Amino acid sequence: MFKFAFLLLPLACLSAGAAHAADDPLIGAWKLNPQKSAMVDEMKVASLGANTYSFDFGGIPEKIVLDGTDQPGIFGTTLAVTVQDSNDWTVVRKKDGHLMLRGLWKLSPDGATLHDDYTEFGENGQPTNHLDYLYNRKEPGTGFAADWLSTNNQFSGPPYVIEVRPWEGDGLTIVFATQGVTKNLHFDGKDYPNPGSKRGVASSAERVNERTIDLTDKIGQKVVSMREISVSDDGKTLTMKVHPPGRSEPDVLVFDRQ
């Protein structure tokens, strides 16, 4: 639920074979191909008693009372959980009072699956991504308390588009247009603040080879996402593997060149 999934290691110098930014194969406009992409998500929910639960969306549990109020969460955010009834919860995350994401959780009658009608919101307050997550309970249990795993997720909502441009000679700018996020990167292992980010996100990058780069996103000193971005040999597709903290399997997003 901090699937801020869309939400991305150091290098002293580039190899002699690395391309100058203007000739970089990553440069261009890219549009997500949902049919070729795969989203994986895992979340752990535990009952602590007294209407209080622990929510772990990626390695850092958050202790929340289910009373619908905004309560302190990870990375300076707040988390609120409202119980509509025993099988329906609404989960909302905010940053500085601004809505980041909302999940409408519905438990199946037999308690074996959980459907999450999930929407992310950009820093301008507008919806950016909508996904339908279907989670399966990993072990027998009752209610929402469980280790939930989702591997069958569907993209919907606005097209997910990114654009890669040259930046300051040897660097790159990556614009996640749908999310309203821009990342300016040099391949020197240093953290560069994302322009205009209200969440305080900074990104560093390493060039693995001519067609592949690694990106790391942080809030403060905490890593929130690691991405491997590579372009196919024919230059027609870009593949982004997103590694959220605390999860072994990455999301795999495949983009077509526009």
- 157 vs 94, which has greater pLDDT? 94
**DSSP-derived secondary structure for the chain:** ---TT------SS--TTPPPGGG-TT-EEEEE-GGG-B--EEEEEEEEETTEEEEESSS--EEEESSS--EE-GGGEEEEEEEEETTEEEEEEEETTEEEEEEEEEE-TTSSEEEEEEEEE-TTSSEEEEEEEEEEESS---SS-EEEEE---EEESS--EEEEEEETTTEEEEEETTTTEEEEE-SSS--EEPTT-TT-EEEEEEEEETTEEEEEEEETTEEEEEEEEEE-TTSSEEEEEEE-TT-SSPEEEEEEE-
pLDDT at 238 over 50: yes
pLDDT in tens, 114-164: 999 999 998 788 888 888 889 999 888 789 999 998 876 666 667 889 999
The pLDDT of residue 131 is 83
pLDDT at 1 over 70: no
The pLDDT of residue 202 is 94
The pLDDT of residue 99 is 94
Most confidently modeled of 129-133, 214-218, 220-224? 214-218
Give the residue carrying structure tokens 């990114």.
Answer: 162
pLDDT at 8 over 60: no
pLDDT in tens, 9-67: 222 222 333 344 558 999 999 999 988 888 788 899 999 999 999 999 877 899 999 99
Name the segment(s) of the chain with CATH classification 2.40.128.20: 21-37+158-257
Cα 239 from Cα 245, distance rounded (Å): 19
The pLDDT of residue 22 is 54
166 burial type by CB count under 10 A (0-12 exposed, 13-18 middle, 19+ buried): middle
21-37+158-257 CATH fold: Lipocalin (2.40.128)
% of the chain surpassing 70 pLDDT: 88
Amino acid, res. 26: L
The mean pLDDT of the chain is 86
Nearest C-alpha neighbor of 42 from the set 226, 219, 249? 249
The pLDDT of residue 157 is 62
Mean pLDDT to the nearest integer, 199-210: 92
Please indicate, yes or no, whether the overall pTM of this predicted structure exceeds 0.75.
Answer: no
% of the chain surpassing 90 pLDDT: 60
Instruction: Identify whether the C-beta of residue 184 lies closer than 8 Å to the C-beta of residue 195.
Output: yes
The pLDDT of residue 31 is 95
